Structure 1
Amino acid sequence: MYYKDYINNFREYNSYEDFYQHYELNVPDEFNFAYDVVERAGLEFPDREALVWHDQEDVKRFTFADLSKASSRTAHYFKSLGINKGDAVMVMLKNRYEFWFCLLALHRIGAIAVPATHMLTKKDILYRNTKASIKAIVSIHDERLLQAVDETMEVSDSLKIRVLIEGQREGWSNLHEGIKGMSEVFERPTGVNRIKNEDTMLLYFTSGTTGDPKMVEHCFTYPLGHITTARYWHRVIDGGLHYTLADTGWAKAVWGKIYGQWLCGSAVFVAEYKKFTPTDVLVDIQKFGVTTFCAPPTIYRFLIQNGLREYDLSSLKHCTVAGEPLSAVVFSKFKGYTGIELCEAYGQTEVTVVSGTFRVLRLSLVLWVKQLPAMNCFWWMRTMNLLK
């Protein structure tokens, strides 16, 4: 959709070397995804579908105009609660559609979104409150989680605001009640509230493989880094429907559920499963006509083991994997059933895609990997001998 506006001298690349040498982002002096992509699309293509969401009982479809208006109302509500530019707001919403309302609203204000998993304990929440000076928490209605948040209130100096997306609880505000009647227009901040490219937009806590989790900050130009994710790795289709299987508490969600996909014109599909079962995924791909799909290799193994051949997956055009090693057996079986070669990529919370298999390459072996432009990669064998 708009990705071409952010690539210098855009054209189709004829080889990996051409891609690596000439791909270059065109970063404007001020970029804000909520205004420059979502609001723009809402005005220019108001009926264009952006988000298809469902849970066990309901299906909701949101256009760019819907999300632009909803995020504006949410931004006004957040401002009324005292959330301002630079404030850190922890968002624990699983795969609820309200996540997109809140994330875009925080972008509009210039506040810092801190996505987090609903599995956090009291200790985890207190640690994050302290390290990131969390001012507000937006949460699903989960009794264990809410109790943990409430208990941290007493010892967290920064935490002042608590918001529920549904239901009632003492000391908590209700999001849907709060946004009723709010204006559907939220003007781009100016003056002292002007949002700069270098301002912090997102903050994640890494998994803490060794020691406590570490904070990772991303500025407002971060979404542009996911053009390569969506166009050259996911290979999303303009007007298509992309499905990344990931909880919004993890960075993988913004890799595949918002930034690059919408910049490249693809809607995103989101399912809120109470309990994950492989057949639910297969049913959804068939029912909703998913065109591109991304999941860890383990998920593909589950799909194969649970009757993948019995479903009509003809809508799928490209599939990708990340997060763990892809076995040759899973690769071969999936290709045998669908004709699609799974394409791997590697990245971290601190960056976007670092290396992988990309659209500009015609590959027959999934083991071939290439680094992205602007990335300097060194490959090591297990013996720690430098390869490149």
Structure 2
Amino acid sequence: MCFNFTDWRLTPVDFKSLIAPEHFNLASEISKHVSDKIALRWENESGETKTITYDALNKKANKLANGLTKLGLNKGDRVVVMTTRLIESYVIYLACLKAGIVISPSSELLRAKDLVYRLNHSEAKAVISYYNLIKEFDQITEETPYLQFKIAFGQEVPNWLSMEALMEEESDTFTDADTLKDDFAFLAYTSGTTGQPKGVVHSHGWGYAHLRIAASKWLNISEDDLVWATAAPGWQKWVWSPFLSILGSGATGFVYNGRFQPHKYLQLLQDNKVNVLCCTPTEYRMMAKLDDLSTLDLTPLHTAVSAGEALNREVIDVFKNEFNILIRDGYGQTESTLLIANLNTNVNKLGSMGQPLMPEYIEVVDEDGQPSPVDQVGTIAIKKDFPALFQHYYKNPESTAASYIGDYFLTGDRAFKDVDNYYWFQGRKDDVIISSGYTIGPFEVEDALMKHKAVKECAVVASPDPVRGNVVKACIVLKDGIEGTTELTKELQSFVKNLTAPYKYPRVIEYLEALPKTDSGKIRRVALRPQK
């Protein structure tokens, strides 16, 4: 029988329960579950399967933590990690936390120019990469003065250290670093509208609060559950759910290392009897389009949640009608945790963002940082003393200061709240594009396009898409004498793919004679966005 949401009530969250002890290492939230219980069940496209217990996972992490510290990595050192959906990914993250090493997650889709910025900006002392992802690192031609160690795993790589060799002779016991709750744990990078991505600093204490908000209140995970969160390593959402929320709850995580195929995903849900599912809206949309949903039995699935962007009401209705599963939307940011969610969902409010998990810390504010009246659009804001808020933007005091007004951190997302304190999303205040759950800064795409010999000027905006929510649209002014042909469009798209992560390329290109601008010369992107 499907989970009855009306039986579950959100209990008030005590502020004090979100504050970690002064001396606190986030790894302890996972290692406290050490036992013979299966921590992870892994499967790939070929049908190969593996499992690992909490005890074995912890011992492998201890061996790696010993190897990394003997190599010369110390508490507070930054390490860029590029991996994919593998059991080793969990070992690496847990080992780094144990050793007090700061993890900078990097998606396997990033290119050399993205990576060299992260390496140098973070002052990374090491990089740990899956062997078949090292190509972009090896293509870096710029100086990386802080980088001392390049470590590969999965296969030996010339001129790279072997992670397996580092672990081979090490003890499977390790004393966790004596980290404070405010010590750095993660340095994640997020896209902005201008300039390079910002480094978001999260502490060990942030993870403590995150687990007590998102894992229990939104994902509704119990120790007996098999949980599938589809996010890939390299994104803060992977830290949120597949890593911290699942392992920190003592549940079993299901890991599928394969391409997204709607029918395959549904088959895996059925065959593995998954209890909790966390997907992107794009994945849900594509699964909802299949014709043979009625043949599937997803009875064990009691919780299904969606995050990354707003989910269509139509998709929610398909899953409700076909499987008696109510997909619950959730909203958060790289800078925080899950902030707003549909919990005990009111059917009259389907399509809303839901309600704040901790209403005393979340508000819609006006331009002066004052709470907006009911039904008036403003900016979603978080009180600065919220325990699961980031510390600051790394090496960027200007952006850190600019993101606050009065007592609030401004998310940049626009919404209004109704009389029942349900929030209704209205869009981004800035120009960041969210497509298929990916956050894309227009500057990065514009910078790539401007390197093409045919482009005179360009601006990148979001364009609504029924499957991806939004796609990247490039409005381009070509140099004199050049025509905007279909062949040129394909060339420009390939050109961007080679310079940036492939998901950032413009799926829509429009050629214009001139870009609309303000009197001061700034591009009016609002005039370029398609009207909904």
Normalised to the residue count of structure 1, the TM-score between the two structures is 0.87
Unaligned ranges ≥5, structure 2:
1-6, 366-371, 380-414, 418-532
Give the alignment partner of residue 240 of structure 2, picking from 248, 252, 255. 255
Give the alignment partner of residue 164 of structure 2, picking from 148, 151, 176. 176
- Change in 2 beyond 3 A, CA 1:167/1:264: closer
Give the alignment partner of residue 304 of structure 2, picking from 319, 322, 329. 319
Look up the equivalent residue of 1:119 and give its one-letter code.
L
For residues 206-252 of structure 1, the C-alpha deviation after alignment (integer angstroms, 9 at most, x for no partner) is 03343311000110112222322111111123211111111111011
Q: How far off is 1:326 after superposition?
A: 1.2
Which one has more relative contact order, counting CA pairs under 8 Å at least 6 apart? 1
For the Cα contact (< 8 Å) 1:135–1:158, is it kept in 2?
Answer: yes
For the Cα contact (< 8 Å) 1:88–1:114, is it kept in 2?
Answer: yes
Q: Distance in 2 between matches of 1:21 and 1:147?
A: 48
- Change in 2 beyond 3 A, CA 1:130/1:281: same
Look up the equivalent residue of 1:166 and give its one-letter code.
G
Q: Distance in 1 between matches of 2:67 and 2:318?
A: 50
Q: Does 1:226 align with 2:226?
A: no
Q: Distance in 2 between matches of 1:95 and 1:76?
A: 24
For residues 87-132 of structure 1, the C-alpha deviation after alignment (integer angstroms, 9 at most, x for no partner) is 1111110212111111011111101011110111111111111110
Look up the equivalent residue of 1:377 and give its one-letter code.
E
- Change in 2 beyond 3 A, CA 1:237/1:173: same
Give the alignment partner of residue 280 of structure 1, picking from 264, 272, 276. 264
The number of aligned residues is 362
Q: Does 1:165 align with 2:153?
A: yes
Q: Does 1:376 align with 2:352?
A: no
For the Cα contact (< 8 Å) 1:347–1:354, is it kept in 2?
Answer: yes
Give the alignment partner of residue 134 of structure 2, picking from 137, 146, 149. 146
Which position in structure 2 is the counterpart of 1:28?
A: 21
RMSD of aligned alpha carbons = 2.3
Q: Matched residue of 2:12: which SS?
A: helix
Which position in structure 2 is the counterpart of 1:204?
A: 188
Q: Distance in 2 between matches of 1:336 and 1:74?
A: 47
Q: Matched residue of 1:312: which SS?
A: coil
Which position in structure 1 is the counterpart of 2:176?
A: 188
Q: Distance in 2 between matches of 1:63 and 1:188?
A: 20
Look up the equivalent residue of 2:316 and give its one-letter code.
F
Q: How far off is 1:384 after superposition?
A: 4.8
Of stretches 294-303 and 66-75 in structure 1, the one that deviates more from structure 2 is 294-303
Q: Which has the higher helix share?
A: 1
Q: Which runs of 4+ in 1 moved over 6 A?
A: 379-382
- Change in 2 beyond 3 A, CA 1:281/1:15: closer
Q: How far off is 1:179 after superposition?
A: 1.3
- Change in 2 beyond 3 A, CA 1:257/1:99: same
Q: Distance in 1 between matches of 2:233 and 2:164?
A: 19
Q: Does 1:345 align with 2:330?
A: yes
- Change in 2 beyond 3 A, CA 1:111/1:383: closer
Q: Distance in 2 between matches of 1:350 and 1:65?
A: 32
Q: Distance in 2 between matches of 1:125 and 1:198?
A: 26
Q: How far off is 1:332 after superposition?
A: 0.6
Matches within 5 A, 1:1-388: 19=12, 24-34=17-27, 36-42=28-34, 46-57=35-46, 58-142=48-132, 145-152=133-140, 155-189=143-177, 194-224=178-208, 225-273=210-258, 275-306=259-290, 307-358=292-343, 361=344, 363-364=346-347, 365-368=349-352, 369-373=354-358, 375-378=361-364, 384=378, 387=416
Q: Which has the higher strand share?
A: 2
Q: Distance in 2 between matches of 1:241 and 1:69?
A: 22
